[in-house]
Chains A and B, each alone.
Chain A
Amino acid sequence: MAGETIEAGKNTTPPKGETRCPGAPTTQEIIARDKVPAPAWVRSESYEFMGDQDIPTDRYIDPAYARKEFDTLWKKTWQFACREEHIPEVGDYYVYDIGPYSFIITRVAQNEIRAHYNACLHRGTKLRASGTVGNAEEFRCSFHGWCWNVDGSHKSTTCHWDFPHVDPKKFTLPQARVERLAGFVFINMDQAAPSLAEYLGPEALAHIQAWKLEDRYVYLHVSKRLPANWKLVIEAFMEAYHVIETHPQVAVSNGDANSQYDVYGDHVDRFISTLGVLSPHLYGKHTEQDILNQFTLGDSGALGSVQRTLSGGATAREVMAQMFRGMFEKATNTDLSKVSDSELLDCFSYTVFPNTFLFPGISLPMVYRFRPDRFDHRKCLYEVLFLRPVPLDGQRPAPAEPIELRDDQSFTEAAGMDQGFGVILDQDTDNLRLQQEGIEASAKRGLTLGNYQEIRVRHFERTVDQYLGQKS
């Protein structure tokens, strides 16, 4: 291929990171043709080249590195702890754990939420078991009965006469910082950390605010431990580059190689992966009808049985947008007339560093949460929450109880999980096991990344480095 040869000293190729999938329309070009136009947050780009050095792999395989992450990264970052809907009433609490740390996220007043360190100030007992929710009128320790009000102030000391050195005013439960955004409760252990708004930056914050995720509710919540370091797991969901090999069934209806990748400051990045269009890898091999038939939904339960037929030269993407708008409106009793085709169809995947993915679309309406397994740096606690719009009648359904899958179970076994979506997650899980083991086995101590399609991986690891005090 003579045309691609570079002569030494001559700049005949575009600058690094500027090449896009040849012969395919861009994500923006696909979206620009849609009938109901997309909002500004969809129709913008924010890519940045960040170098092309390998990512050293000790971060995925070294237990000491994982310990250091708990001491640095996890103690300084804003983390999604629960949804507001998990604690609707005063006194309601939700225990959020990250590594050894544990917090009782408590609604202490109608409009105030606090995150108490989950440990008794007497001899340390957890005041509430990890992984639990409930309501408290007071937090009473199960060991000797020391007691705190729900706002964290000290209420009583059993046999107070024996503790003249305990000043109740100084025995308020320590708290992490709490901020709320879009129905999510975020916490940060670092009292000196920037505000959540600063942390996200103005542009990403504006995107999140535009989605109104506070008006959705959790209708399905599934958790499972995945067989790889938490960062590998996160990175497996950051690009559509793997779709053609890992999820060939999806590629027929997914603009994978021409997906769009953006970064915003240090803590947010995203991709937009169009659906209802053919993968550039498969051009010439499928019809529009094939595309329509292959479409995978995260929330197919909202659709019931779909008639998938094309007529009169319409594209699969057009037909699907029209069809989904009507069916999601009916199924969820909501008004989607002003919601763009792109928001209805496409996969928008946003990372909020370090533990959250937000997918503001309608057909793939997920939130992911990732946390390292406290006792095993080669395992990751993964949760997927599917969100639906709160019905027009305003009655907010209670959030779904989490379904906890065992390590050996398929995602398709979770009741309510779309089967096609469960298969996709199983395919990712199978890769992750091999990837963790392969990195440990490899003679090559670095990961090599694509400049464009894998920019989110590089961006994420650059921020990891910043928190761990390493220059990348």
Chain B
Amino acid sequence: MADSFHRVLSAAEVPPGTKKAVQVGDRCILICNSNQRLYAISNICTHAEKPLERGRMSATWIACPTHGARFDLATGKALNPPAVKPIATYEVRVVDEWIEVLIKEVAT
């Protein structure tokens, strides 16, 4: 399968300052509307594999509500312990009022 954009939500479903989790195949992705832009990141913290969905979000990061690891929204980089590994980030765009996320198919 080739890389492709997947429609996940209508843009109106993620107003500024909010986030919403979606499932794309076996991936759980968090769509974040922060600081006047959309981000698509993995919803699963790389530390204890808990969802990030209910975490606090700033202009640049999201904090895992379970143990407090923070990740950069743009790059996925882990910003503080207890996480070390980054979370996946996805390219995101809006087409016809729909949020679309790019899923890259990697050979396994």
Contacts and interface: CB of A to CB of B under 8 A. Distances in A.
Contacts of A398: 58-59
B56 A133 contact: yes
28 contacts: A89-B56, A92-B56, A128-B67, A128-B68, A129-B68, A129-B80, A129-B81, A129-B82, A132-B63, A133-B58, A133-B63, A134-B56, A134-B63, A134-B64, A134-B65, A134-B68, A134-B70, A135-B55, A135-B63, A135-B65, A136-B68, A137-B65, A140-B67, A142-B48, A142-B67, A142-B82, A398-B58, A401-B59
Interface of B: 47-48, 54-56, 58-60, 63-70, 80-82
Nearest to A135: B56
Contacts of B63: 132-135
Nearest to B50: A140
A131 interface: yes
Interface string A284-311: 0000000000000000000000000000
B77 to A, nearest CB: 14
Contacts of A129: 68-69, 80-82
A89 B63 CA distance: 14
Contacts of B59: 398, 401
Contact of A140 (B55, B60, B66): B66
Nearest to A128: B68
A398 B58 CA distance: 8
Given A128-B67, A129-B82, 4 more contacts: A89-B56, A131-B80, A136-B65, A142-B67
Interface in A87-137: 89, 92, 127-129, 131-137
Nearest to B79: A132
Contacts of A137: 54, 65
Nearest to A142: B67
Nearest to A399: B58
Contacts of A132: 63, 68, 70, 80
B72 to A, nearest CB: 11
Interface string A52-85: 0000000000000000000000000000000000
Question: Closest 4 CB pairs between A and B?
Answer: A134-B63, A135-B56, A129-B81, A142-B67
A140 B65 CA distance: 9
Residue with the highest number of chain A CB atoms closer than 10 Å, among B58, B63, B64:
B63
Interface residues of B, dominant DSSP = loop
Contacts of A89: 56
A133 B63 CA distance: 8
Contacts of A140: 66-67
Contacts of B68: 127-129, 132, 134, 136
B41 to A, nearest CB: 16
A401 B60 contact: yes
B36 to A, nearest CB: 13
Contacts of A401: 58-60
Contacts of A134: 55-56, 63-65, 68, 70
A323 B87 CA distance: 50
A134 B63 CA distance: 5
A457 to B, nearest CB: 36
Contacts of A135: 55-56, 63, 65
Q: Which of A127, A134, A140 has the most chain B CB within a 10 Å cutoff? A: A134
A128 B47 CA distance: 13
Contacts of A136: 65, 68
A440 B56 CA distance: 46
B80 to A, nearest CB: 5
A62 B56 CA distance: 42
Contacts of B47: 142
Contacts of B55: 134-135
B87 to A, nearest CB: 15
Contacts of A128: 67-68
Nearest to B83: A129
Contacts of A142: 47-48, 67, 82
Nearest to A87: B56
Contacts of B81: 129
A127 B65 CA distance: 12
A132 B82 CA distance: 11
A133 B70 CA distance: 9
Contacts of A131: 80
B66 to A, nearest CB: 6
Q: Which of B54, B65, B67 has the most CB of A within 10 A?
A: B67
A452 B80 CA distance: 46
Contacts of B66: 140
Contacts of B48: 142
A401 B68 CA distance: 17
A347 B37 CA distance: 39
Contacts of A133: 56, 58, 63
Q: Which of B54, B58, B68 lies at the interface centre, i.e. has the most chain A CB atoms within 10 A of its CB? A: B68
A126 to B, nearest CB: 9
Interface in A362-417: 398, 401
B85 to A, nearest CB: 15
Contacts of B67: 128, 140, 142
Contacts of B64: 134
A264 B55 CA distance: 44
A134 B64 CA distance: 8
Contacts of B69: 129
